[in-house]
Amino acid sequence: MSSEAVLKKIQAPVYPLTFNKIIDKRAPLFLVALFGTTLAYFEFAIYGFLTPILAHHFFPTDDPTVSLLKAFGVFAVGSLAKPIGALIFGYLGDTQGRSITLRYTMIGVAIPTFIVGILPGYYSWGWVAVAILILCRMFQGIFMAGESDGVRIYIFEHFGHKRPCLISACISCSAYTGIALATFVAMQIPTEGDVWRWVFFASSACGILIYTLRRHLIETPPFLRLQQNPQPPIPLKNIVRSRWPSLLRTIMICGTVGGVNHFYFFFQGTYLSKVLNLLTLESALQYSMYLITLYVLTFPIAGWVADKWGYAKVGKIGGIITLSLAIINLLIIKDEFVSLPIMVLTTISMAFFVVPAYLFLTQQYDVNIRFRSFSLGHAIGSTLFSGTGPVICLFLWQITGLSYVPFIYFSLLITMGVSAFIWRARSNAYNAWFL
């Protein structure tokens, strides 16, 4: 079917669209995209939750902290590789279409996951095993850059006209459902033996299934309209030169969102249990699962509130409250105490910052540069502040010996994100997405 025929077929019912009418003929597009994101985030996150086990297999040393530091370093490689994926899939998404990127990003995440599952440990292959593990994480990061941003843009442009923050909340729900599932699965894995490998095998098989389903995705109406009047793609250097304030805000906010999530859900439990010995590892994983579940359940509420009161206002308030709670948490950790109520309140406030944040960023860019701009800013922010956070926090703890130093880093990340919200002038209409 030609682009003109597809556009004619689906353009009429697209606008206006209420959230209650999402279950229509295009519902499979919505569900296949979301399920793929859930699986991709599961595959990307399971490494983080199984870091203590993987550290034993691939980085055996007499000092468990050094092993963890090396394992978290490999975890950071996934984020460091994201700018490469942003350049590749951003260009592909803006020139060839959003749907084509989603047909291949899933398989690109699934194959490295399978390889990690079959990869022998350090005692069998030595540093060759470590090198392959690093390459797998690198390729996962490259394809995750296209997956996470591609799904967000694809669903926004199909369904995000009427209730954009609620739609953004659904996308975030799918991502963090994958992380919550990874937490739950990690809790069931014994620290000894090779049971963890079956998790990697099963998730990679599901990735191949999602890839098969995504071959039937159709293109978004805004991109199809853009194709009716094709123009040469704007060079990336021109985008950077003319839109640098928007790109810088994207880097700051995406760096904050990714950084605080990596810290709070991946690193914090391991740090409190394996480094400070304030919790058992089992308790830390339970806390992580409960907090991520609460996080996911709060997203739709945050989306509804942001649509009603305004995404910029809700995002700033959510960020300021999160910063205040982070400072309280810092003082509590300084006294070698863990407060679950403070963790709960912090998790809820983070949701009210994260849900408006992606909408706040996406509406800055026109259709013809949206994928490249958003993905590049997101990737740079992730490279600087997301996967690198655990390594930086452990390093700061090692050189200072202060238990609360990682929480200072956490507070600085939130300050950066709130500053970007305050810097951004009031946007024009939400319809700027569809210009």
The answer to whether position 12 is within a domain reads no
State the residue range of the domain holding 78: 27-434
Task: Tell me what pLDDT residue 230 has.
Answer: 74
What type of residue sits at position 170? C
Task: Tell me what pLDDT residue 424 has.
Answer: 66
Among candidate residues 28, 4, 25, the one with its CA nearest the CA of residue 13 = 25
DSSP of 173-212 = HHHHHHHHHHHHHHHHS-SSSSTHHHHHHHHHHHHHHHHH
Calculate the CA 3 to chain-centre distance.
31
Q: Three-class SS of residue 428?
A: coil
Task: Tell me what pLDDT residue 347 has.
Answer: 93
Encode pLDDT of 117-175 as tens digits: 899 988 888 889 889 998 988 898 888 888 888 888 888 888 777 788 888 888 888 88
In this prediction the pTM is 0.77
CA distances from 435 to 210, 260, 333, 367 (A): 31, 32, 48, 7
Task: Tell me what pLDDT residue 18 has.
Answer: 43
Tell me the Cα Rg of the chain.
Answer: 21
Instruction: Place 429 in a pLDDT band, splitting at 50, 70 and 90.
Output: very low
The answer to whether position 78 is within a domain reads yes
Is 93 a residue whose pLDDT tops 60?
A: yes
Instruction: Place 15 in a pLDDT band, splitting at 50, 70 and 90.
Output: very low
Q: Taking the CA of residue 239 as centre, how many other CA atoms within 13 Å lie in the half-sphere pointing to its CB?
A: 25
Task: Tell me what pLDDT residue 435 has.
Answer: 36
Report residue 256 as tokens: 């904050």
Average pLDDT over residues 362-375: 86
Encode pLDDT of 287-335 as tens digits: 888 888 899 899 999 999 998 898 888 988 999 999 999 999 889 888 8
The answer to whether position 339 is within a domain reads yes
The answer to whether position 3 is within a domain reads no
What type of residue sits at position 40? A
The answer to whether position 153 is within a domain reads yes
Q: Residue 32: phi, psi to the nearest 5?
A: -65, -40
Minimum mean pLDDT range among 88-102, 367-381, 384-398: 384-398
In angstroms, the first-to-last Cα distance of the chain is 25
How many structural domains is the chain composed of?
1
Instruction: Place 181 in a pLDDT band, splitting at 50, 70 and 90.
Output: confident
Minimum mean pLDDT range among 323-332, 411-420, 421-430: 421-430
Percent of the chain at pLDDT exceeding 70: 90
Angle at 40 between CA 387 and CA 7, to 5 degrees: 120
Is 427 a residue whose pLDDT tops 60?
A: no
Average pLDDT over residues 265-293: 83
The answer to whether position 382 is within a domain reads yes
The answer to whether position 124 is within a domain reads yes
CATH number for position 283: 1.20.1250.20
Residues whose CB falls within 8 Å of the CB of residue 245, separated by 6 or more in sequence, listed in order: none
Provide long-range contacts, Cβ within 8 A and 24+ apart, for 232-238: 233/91, 233/94, 233/95, 233/368, 234/368, 234/369, 236/87, 236/91, 236/372, 236/376
Q: Residue 405: phi, psi to the nearest 5?
A: -55, -45
The answer to whether position 15 is within a domain reads no
